[in-house]
């Protein structure tokens, strides 16, 4: 009997990549997403890859929807062998330009939403005395950067949650892993970038710096060869390794930064890193005439329904 996995945020990006990859590896995949608008795109992606996904509606901010989705998995398969938490939204902008409702919404999805799903799944894993929980966090949960202060705060929170959770559930045979990608080109940066409402106001004292940083991010994304497939492969390792690690870092640049932070004495890394980031963002090399357009690689979104998803949480 194949193992079952419930994946949140499987409508696009990392979640969809994980769903397709695990289905190819023989898992019974319950691919969940918060809006019905994702359904056809998920089914078409599965047909293209010649795999089977079982779509579920699951809004991680709705406890009733979480309970119903978990019950569906149990009814269909009898157990939940693994949970992959990929649901999340972004929030870009300097802290003074972030509104309370934007920050709370991000925490509701990224932090409390993840906790809600884990809480619903754990009783079934405890009863089975086995299970694996994978939290897709971010390099931003290990090293912070400008324009994503609230986002990093949420990812740092998930890192602490994951560390503690791993200790609490280990006696029940449940293993927890954190998958930490660096910058990866996904719909998070294309369909719904998550820019704060006030971040693009010319009246903001941070306006030029925000434009500069967005242009920097676009340039980096165009050069990166790390894709959602690499993240899916890291998730698969976390689910298949006989002794899974607590952390799986995706991307050699992030691995290098974390290694330097460990090796350099005292606050030396922070001083060097901060100086370089601040200098690159505040240097007046870009005219403040609007946000730079991100030119997508050809065939990046290989599903026709991508335009229907515009504006939905990623």
pLDDT in tens, the chain (314 residues): 799 999 999 999 999 999 999 999 999 999 999 999 999 999 999 999 999 999 999 999 999 999 999 999 999 999 999 999 999 999 999 999 999 999 999 999 999 999 999 999 999 999 999 999 999 999 999 999 999 999 999 999 999 999 999 999 999 999 999 999 988 876 656 666 788 999 989 999 999 999 888 888 887 777 767 889 999 999 999 999 999 999 999 988 889 999 999 999 888 998 998 988 898 888 765 554 544 443 334 333 333 333 333 333 33
Q: Which of 151, 207, 248, 300 is catalytic?
A: 151
Can 151 be counted among the known catalytic residues?
Answer: yes
CA distances from 115 to 16, 61, 67, 123, 165 (A): 20, 10, 13, 13, 10
How far is Cα 229 from Cα 235, in angstroms, rounded to an integer?
A: 10
Q: State which H helix or E strand residue 135 sits in.
A: strand 131-136
How far is Cα 114 from Cα 106, in angstroms, rounded to an integer?
A: 11
| Domain 4-207+225-258 fold | Rossmann fold (3.40.50)
């Amino acid at each position: 009997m194949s193992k079952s996995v419930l994946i949140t945020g499987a409508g696009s990006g990392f979640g969809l990549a994980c769903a397709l990859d695990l289905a190819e590896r023989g898992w019974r995949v319950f691919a969940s997403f918060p809006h019905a608008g994702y359904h056809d795109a998920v089914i078409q992606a599965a047909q293209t890859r010649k795999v089977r996904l079982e779509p579920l509606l699951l809004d991680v901010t709705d406890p009733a929807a979480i309970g119903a989705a978990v019950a569906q998995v149990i009814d269909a398969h009898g157990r939940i062998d693994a949970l992959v938490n990929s649901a999340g939204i972004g929030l870009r902008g300097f802290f003074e330009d972030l509104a309370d409702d934007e920050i709370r919404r991000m925490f509701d999805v990224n932090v409390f939403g993840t906790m809600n799903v884990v809480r619903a799944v754990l009783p079934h894993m405890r009863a089975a005395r086995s299970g694996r929980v994978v939290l897709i966090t971010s390099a931003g949960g290990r090293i912070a950067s400008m324009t994503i202060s609230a986002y990093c705060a949420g990812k740092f929170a998930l890192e602490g949650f994951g560390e503690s959770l791993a200790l609490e559930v280990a006696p029940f045979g449940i293993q927890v892993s954190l998958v930490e990608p660096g910058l990866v080109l996904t719909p998070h940066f294309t369909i719904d970038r998550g820019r704060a409402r006030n971040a693009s106001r010319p009246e903001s004292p941070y306006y030029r710096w925000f434009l500069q940083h967005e242009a920097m991010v676009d340039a980096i994304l165009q050069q990166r060869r790390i894709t959602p497939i690499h993240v899916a492969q890291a998730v698969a390792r976390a689910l298949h390794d006989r002794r899974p690690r607590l952390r799986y870092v995706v991307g050699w640049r992030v691995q290098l930064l974390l290694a330097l932070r460990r090796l350099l004495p005292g606050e030396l890394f922070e001083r060097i890193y901060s100086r370089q980031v601040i200098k690159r963002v505040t240097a007046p090399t870009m005219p403040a005439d609007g946000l730079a357009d991100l030119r997508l690689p050809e065939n990046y979104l290989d599903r026709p329904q991508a335009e229907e998803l515009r504006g939905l949480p990623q």
